[in-house]
Structure 1
Amino acid sequence: MPSSFMHTAPRLTALAAAALLAGCSFIPTYERPAAPLPAGYTLAGPALAADAPAATAIDWKDYFTDARLQRLVGMALANNRDLRVAMLNVDQARAQFQIRRADQFPTVSALANATRQPNTSGQYANQFQVGVGITAWEIDFFGRIAALKEQALAQYLATDEARKSAQISLVSAVASGWLTLCADEELLDLSRRTLQTREQSLQLTRLRLDNGISSELDYAQALSLAQSARATLAQQQRQRLLDENALVLLLGQALPEDIRASLTSARLEDNSPMQPLPVGLPSDLLTRRPDIRMAEQQLIGANANIGAARAAFFPRIALTAQFGSVSSELSGLFKSGSWAFSLAPQAALPIFDAGRNQANLDAAMVGRDIALAQYEKSIQSAFREVSDALAGLDTLRQEIDAQTALVDANRRSLELADLRYRNGVASHLDLLDAQRSLFGSEQALVAARLQQQLNQVAMYKVLGGGWTQQPQGEEDAPQS
């Protein structure tokens, strides 16, 4: 270490502290953009009770109270690979933030060096050095590193919100998959009973044909109806397997045998009702929906990138320093008079870069505009999803009431048509039409009940419920 750089260690510490305090920031002042939302929702029916707890205040276990469904959701939260990737992304974003934060501090390394070289007299001289050093530490006078750190923090927070959004989607997807399986089993049971009835009717028609009471046309029509029921049963069996496969993928493991066995007696109308949720104002979505908060954090990160791009126009000041002991003899290290340090500041000011820095700034400005558009789009999409769920609250209830009355009417029509046919008053075609109408209305009733319960699941999801419980082992957010 040259003696011309000999100084005292406290002066180095004072210089570093002054450099840290001298930093400034070129990050534009962030203000949350005005939300492109109307003042309220258009309700298709009566407004919901305002005193009910908000979706974000209800844990998914309190909303989905069926014990079997709770088991399935718990399995999915523990085993679903998409959620696992979302959680690992959070860990990765946290590490990236910690890297950016570490850039603000010098890296201190232990140094040891020994050289042997000829001097001017032709003899060999030794030099031994031991100490600590700082290599090319950038002093953040103009806030470039601080802006990158703020961008990394925003990215971490956005990734954590993405994890919450993924958990909401997973919980609702498992609930929807379970309800769909219940509907599949109900439709399968309906198709089996319908096929059995039509096969009995076919046998009866064949017997009447053999005895000259019915025509060949009656038999062909009865056969057509039975084959149609058989084809419908095969379609529903295939759909049942596909829906189970989709649920198994969400669970990350096979469907438990006891739960599969319980599906044979499952009925949608027997499921535990889900509690009503207050809708509130559209502006509430800004704080309830993790996907909106994620988009806002991405906007904040894009805003911070502008500060880093602006700081690139100013000099970068780096510091290299060493402090330790130098001696020509190994035994002379750490003795009085052997201590020294060197200090080498360096400044680099961009003069000509072919427009690179300006292009980076332009790209950062456009990136912020893109993030702003994505933020506004996420708000509008959230409003649309809530409005769609609200549209089904009252209308689906009315549809189920009307469909239930239709099933009762068609069942009574079938009884009368069968009675009239047996007494020779009505034709066989009238009986077949009554059977088709009853089967179709019963299927439509199951579909309407499924749609109503799926709409309740969607309402819980779009209002931001389902993420109040943090995954086990989740760490707190890093401090900036």
Structure 2
Amino acid sequence: MSRFIPLTFAALLLASCATEPLTRDTGLATPTAFKAPVTSETTAPPLAKKTGAWWLIFSDPVLDDLQARAMTRNTDLEIAAARLQQSRAFVRQARAVQLPQVNAGLQSSRGSDGGPKASTVHALGVDLDYEVDLFGRLSKATGAAKLDAEASAELYRGAQLLVSAQVAETYFALRAIDEDRAIVNETLTAYRETLKVTQRRYEAGDVAELDVVRLQTEVSSTEAELKALDRQRAQIENALAVLVGDIASTFTVQASVWDAQSWSHAVPLIPAGLPSELLERRPDVIAAEKTMQAAQKRVGIAKAAWFPRLALTASGGGASNELGDLFEDAARSWSLTGILAQAIFDGGQRKAATELAEGDLAVAFAQYRQSVLVAFADVENQLSDIDGLAGEAKTQGEALTAAQRALDLSQSRYRHGYVSQLEVLDAQRSYLRLRRQDLSVRAQQYQATVRLIRALGGDWKA
């Protein structure tokens, strides 16, 4: 045993040379505040810790059901979950390598050494192999696998967040189409009633044929718009079916107008929080950081290959012509071996492996830095969209009020014979266009709110 002490002491001295490098600074200073305007008001309550069910703030049972189905049946999430399972298996595999490996075997052979009689020999053996982790190569491999598993867990959480955001955005688009169809259908009904009245007046000789033709044109074009909306709704519904893992042929969401929804009265105001909190919540940033740390450990693994390996091997067992005599003292044998091995020449393999690991680390570092840049840009974009859409919604509402007033005045003037039907049609077209634009802006506000929640990592603080 005394011979192993100097060897072990020397190994510990060399171990410090095989450690992986420290995490490099990204060179990016975390801002103290976001550039885009941030609301000081908050109407969305903070989420319950670790629930991740951010969509509950909309209090929509249909949306809740769609999200629940997506979380259990979406194929992208199934793939991410399978990769997470694989990464956790790699951790268990790496840990198992650090433990002694024990094998046992029983062998029976019958033969002759040239004499007239054959004999049978039974042998029972147990072998134990164990590598002493002198330079932390095995522990670093386990640590790297664990970091990979943690990165996979964050990627799975990120996939959940992305899918839930896509479901919500698609759902709001579907509800906007339902409302748009209702608006166009309402206008079409009004055009058809006006056309009936105008045809009777034309038959009575009160109006010219041109008035009838103009109204027929409006009816036909509006019917075409309604058919186009039906086609768009079918496509959006089919996209939603894919997200929730259902077959499009059997998947339906009952139509419902915008104002009938519980969330339609006001867009939830989400607090952006501090920029420094973003890097602690975004799954993609956390995953990139874990991947970089795993790459650091693999540099240490590559450097550890330059140093000797110490393997301990033990074996024991017995051999006898009779099975019952295998455990007799005379049949027993054992051995204990320690092997210290050091590669002298490998044609540059270890150097290449170290350079490859350092290259992987450089890539992982650049990807981490990129994820940080993308995270801040993502939040800034969504905050800017929300602020811009709020101003646009206000202006659009004012324009819609004015268009409604203009339509009322045109209809009144037409009934009193002051203007032609052409002016009324122009006012109706303008009012219809502004109603649809107003709806589009409102839908974009909800979708931008969903994107902000996703950009913030699916969580916020009041």
Give the alignment partner of residue 175 of structure 1, picking from 165, 168, 179: 168
Q: What SS does structure 2 have at the residue aligned with 1:406? A: helix
Decide which of 72, 77, 80 is 1:78's aligned counterpart: 72
Shift of 1:51: 11
What root-mean-square deviation, in Å, do the aligned CA atoms of Structure 1 and Structure 2 show? Answer: 3.3
Are 1:172 and 1:458, in contact at CA under 8 Å, matched by a contact in 2?
yes
> Which of the residues 393, 400, 403 maps onto 1:410?
403
**Residue 286 of structure 1 contacts residue 292 of structure 1 at CA under 8 Å; is this kept in 2?**
yes
Aligned to 1:98: 92
2:282, 2:456 within 8 Å by CA — same for their partners in 1?
Answer: yes
Deviates more, 1:373-382 or 1:69-78: 69-78
Q: In percent, how many aligned pairs have the same letter?
A: 31
Q: Does 1:251 align with 2:244?
A: yes
| Contact 2:60 2:263 (8 Å CA) reproduced | no
**How far apart, CA to CA, are the structure 2 residues paired with 1:117 and 1:456?**
82
Map Cα deviations across residues 379-426 of structure 1 (whole Å, 9 max, x no partner). Answer: 111111111221133332222222122122111211222222343322
Flag the 1:24–1:51 CA change in 2: closer, same or farther, 3 A.
Answer: farther
1:412-446 deviation per Cα after TM superposition (whole angstroms, max 9, x unaligned) = 21122222234332233322221111111000111
Secondary structure of 1:351 counterpart: coil
Distance 1:100 1:270 in 2: 50
Return closer, same or farther for 1:215/1:61 CA change in 2, 3 Å cut-off.
closer
Superposition map of 1:14-163 within 5 A:
24=15, 26-31=18-23, 33-34=25-26, 36=28, 37-44=30-37, 46-48=39-41, 53=46, 59-60=53-54, 62-119=56-113, 126-134=120-128, 137-163=130-156
Structure 2: 5+ residue stretches without partners? none
For residues 154 and 405 of structure 2, the distance between their equivalents in structure 1, rounded to whole angstroms, comes to: 54
Cα distance in 2, alignment partners of residues 203 and 299 from structure 1: 72
Instruction: Name the TM-score, length of structure 2 as normaliser.
Output: 0.86
2:218 is matched with which residue: 221, 225, 235?
225
* In structure 2, C-alpha distance between the alignment counterparts of 1:50 and 1:57, rounded to whole Å: 20
How far apart, CA to CA, are the structure 1 residues paired with 2:427 and 2:48?
Answer: 45
User: How many angstroms apart in 2 are the aligned matches of 1:229 and 1:463?
Assistant: 41
CA contact (8 A) 1:27 1:303 kept: no
Cα separation, 1, equivalents of 2:268 and 2:417? 52
Counterpart of 1:110, as a letter, is: A
Aligned pairs for 1:48-447 (under 5 A) are 48=41, 53=46, 59-60=53-54, 62-119=56-113, 126-134=120-128, 137-253=130-246, 260-261=253-254, 263=256, 267=260, 270-271=263-264, 273=266, 275-447=268-440
Q: Which amino acid is the alignment partner of residue 67 of structure 2?
A: V
* CA distance, structure 1, for counterparts of residue 115 and residue 265 of structure 2: 98
- Equivalent residue letter for 2:143: E
The residue type paired with residue 64 of structure 1 is F
Distance 2:261 2:397 in 1: 14
**SS of the residue 1:324 aligns to:** strand
Q: Distance in 1 between matches of 2:270 and 2:416?
A: 55
How far 1:122 sits from its partner (Å)? 8.6
CA deviation profile, 1:81-118 (whole Å, cap 9, x unmatched): 22222222211111111111111112201121233455
CA positional deviation for 1:50 = 12
Task: Flag the 1:271–1:82 CA change in 2: closer, same or farther, 3 A.
Answer: same
Conserved in 1, the CA contact under 8 Å of 2:292 and 2:364?
Answer: yes
Match among 442, 449, 462 for residue 449 of structure 1: 442
Which stretch shows the higher mean deviation, 338-347 or 380-389? 338-347
In 2, Cα distance between equivalents of 1:102 and 1:66: 48
Distance, in Å, in 2 between the alignment partners of 1:35 and 1:230 is 59
Q: CA deviation at 1:302?
A: 1.0
* Residues 65 and 272, structure 1, Cα contact 8 Å, conserved in 2: no
Alpha-carbon displacement from aligned partner over 1:209-235 (angstroms, at most 9, x marks no partner) = 444444444444333322221121111
Structure 2 CA distance for aligned equivalents of residues 204 and 375 of structure 1 = 68
Residue type of the alignment partner of 2:82: L
Do 2:47 and 2:459's aligned partners in 1 also have CA atoms closer than 8 Å? no
Shift of 1:287: 0.9
> Secondary structure of the equivalent of 2:329?
coil
**Greater shift in the superposed pair: 422-431 or 107-116:** 422-431
Kindly provide the CA deviation profile for residues 28-75 of structure 1, in whole angstroms up to 9, marking residues without a partner as x. Answer: 243363463433212336434599647967743642322222222122
Is the CA contact (8 Å cut-off) linking 1:161 and 1:293 kept in structure 2?
yes
Distance 1:163 1:278 in 2: 25
Q: Which moved more, 1:30-39 or 1:83-92?
A: 30-39
* Matched positions, count: 451
Higher relative contact order (CA 8 A, sep 6+): 1
Letter in 1 for 2:387: D
- 2: CA distance between counterparts of 1:334 and 1:186? 86
- Match of 1:31, as an amino acid? T
Greater CA drift, 215-224 or 229-238: 215-224
8 Å Cα contact 1:112/1:130 also seen in 2 = yes
Specify the SS of the correspondent of 1:133: strand
Cα 1:400–1:103 change in 2 (3 A) is same
- Closer/same/farther in 2, CA of residues 353 and 208 from structure 1, 3 Å limit: farther
SS in 1 for 2:335: strand
Q: Is the 8 A contact 1:134 1:322 kept in 2?
A: yes
Using the size of structure 1 for normalisation, the TM-score is: 0.83
Distance in 2 between the 1:32 and 1:244 partners?
47
Structure 1 residue 183 displacement after superposition: 0.9
Whole-Å separation in 2 of the counterparts to 1:123 and 1:379: 80
In structure 2, give the amino acid aligned to 1:291. Answer: D
Structure 1 range deviating more: 194-203 or 381-390: 194-203
Counterparts in 2 of 1:30 and 1:123: CA distance versus 1, 3 Å: farther
